[in-house]
Amino acid sequence: MSVVLKERDGGVCVLTLNRPDKLNALNVEMLATLELALVELDNDSTVRCVVLTGAGEKAFVAGADIATMQDMTSMQAKSFSDMGHRVCARLERAHYPVIGAVNGFALGGGCELALACDFLYASEKAKFGQPEVNLGVIPGFGGTQRLSRRVGEARARELCFTGDVIDAGEALRVGLVNRVLPAGELLAAAKATAAKICTKGPLAVGQAKRTILRGADVPLDIANELEAQAFATLFDTEDQREGMRAFLDKRSADFKGT
C-alpha cells in the first residue's frame, strides 16, 4: 500500500497521507512519495483543487518520524529539512489551491505541512503545535516562518518557545484554521469547497493564489502593482471572455482554463 493515496473526482484530487499505524509520521519515503505526487499534479492542467488529509481517525500528521531522526548527523538533518521545505514549497506554489483537511494531530512537521496549504478545515478533534523544543530542536520545514505569517509573530513565538499544543477551537480563534467541523463531516466539507472552487475560472484562481503569496512580503504599493498586472493579464484569456459573457447572459460560465 502506498504511503500517499491519490483519489480523483473531476478537477478535485484528494491526497491522503497513509501511515496510520505511525500516526502518518513523516519519513523520507513519505516526503519523497508526496513530492512525486505533487510534481505529477503540477503537470496536470485538469487539476483544479487538491485536498490534503491523513489516513485514520487520530492524525493528519503527528510529526516527523523521531525514530528515523534521532541518529541523524547535521548533514543528514539538513538534507531531511531541505526535502520538507521542497514539499511545502510545492504545496504553497502549486497552480491549484490546496485545502488541508486536518483530521487529528498536526504536530511538528504535520503542522508545517498544514501551514503550507492555502487554508485549513479542522476536525473538532484536531490538535496543532510546534513541539520541537521538547526534543532539543526547532521546526525544520518552515514552521518558524509560516506560523508567524498565519497567526502573528507573538503567538508564533509563544507556540515555538513553549511547545504548547492547541485544540481546534483555539486554532480557529487565532486564525490558524478557517472552519472546525465534526469529524464525520470534515472531508465532505473540504471536498464540497474544492468542488465549488472547480466551478470558478482556474486561471483567475491561480493568479489570485500567486498574487496573495507574492504580495505578502513586499510593500503595499508593489503588491498592488503585482495585482494590477495579474488582473490585466487575465484579459488576454478566453476564460475572461467566457466569464463576462456568461454573466451578461445570466448563465453559468463554462471555463476551460485557456
Model pLDDT for residues 213-236, shown as the tens digit of each residue: 999 989 999 999 999 999 999 999
What cell does 92 get? 504553497
Q: Is 158 a catalytic residue?
A: no
How confident is the model over 139-167, as a mean pLDDT?
97
Whether pLDDT at 177 is above 90: yes
Are 13 and 50 found together in one domain? yes
Say if residue 217 is in the same domain as residue 177: no
- Note whether residue 114 is domain-resident: yes
Which has more pLDDT, 65 or 50? 50
Does residue 25 sit within a domain? yes
Q: Do 92 and 154 share a domain, yes or no?
A: yes
For residues 156 and 178, state if they share a domain.
Answer: yes
Please report the pLDDT score of residue 20 as a whole number: 95
CATH number of the domain residue 109 falls in: 3.90.226.10
Q: What is the CA radius of gyration of the chain?
A: 19
Has residue 256 been placed in a domain? no
Q: How much is the pTM?
A: 0.95
In 3D space, the residue among 95, 146, 139 whose CA is nearest the CA of residue 120 turns out to be 146
Question: 12 and 44 in one domain?
Answer: yes
Confirm whether 238 is a catalytic residue. Answer: no
Final residue belonging to a domain, choices 164, 183, 198: 198
Residue in 28, 69, 34, 164 with CA at minimum distance from that of residue 107: 164
Q: Please tell me the number of Cα atoms within 13 Å of 170 on its side-chain side.
A: 10
The answer on 153 and 242 residing in a single domain is no
Tell me the C-alpha distance between 105 and 23, whole Å. Answer: 8
- 65: pLDDT confidence band, cut at 50, 70 and 90? confident
Verify that 190 and 228 share a domain, yes or no: no
Averaged pLDDT of the chain: 96
pLDDT at 30 over 90: yes
Are 150 and 26 in a shared domain?
yes
179-225 pLDDT, tens digit per residue, is 999 999 999 999 999 999 999 999 999 999 999 999 998 999 999 99
- Asked if residue 102 is part of any domain, the answer here is yes
Whether residue 169 is found in the same domain as residue 207 = no
Catalytic residue among 29, 57, 92, 112: 112
Q: In CATH, what number is assigned to the domain containing residue 227?
A: 1.10.12.10
The whole domain housing 95 covers 4-198
Catalytic residue among 132, 225, 238, 242, which? 132
Q: Encode pLDDT of 42-58 as tens digits.
A: 999 999 999 999 999 89
Q: Examine the domain organization and report whether 214 and 194 are in the same domain.
A: no
Same domain? 50 vs 70: yes
Residue type, 59: A
| Last residue within a domain, chosen from 182, 198, 214 | 198
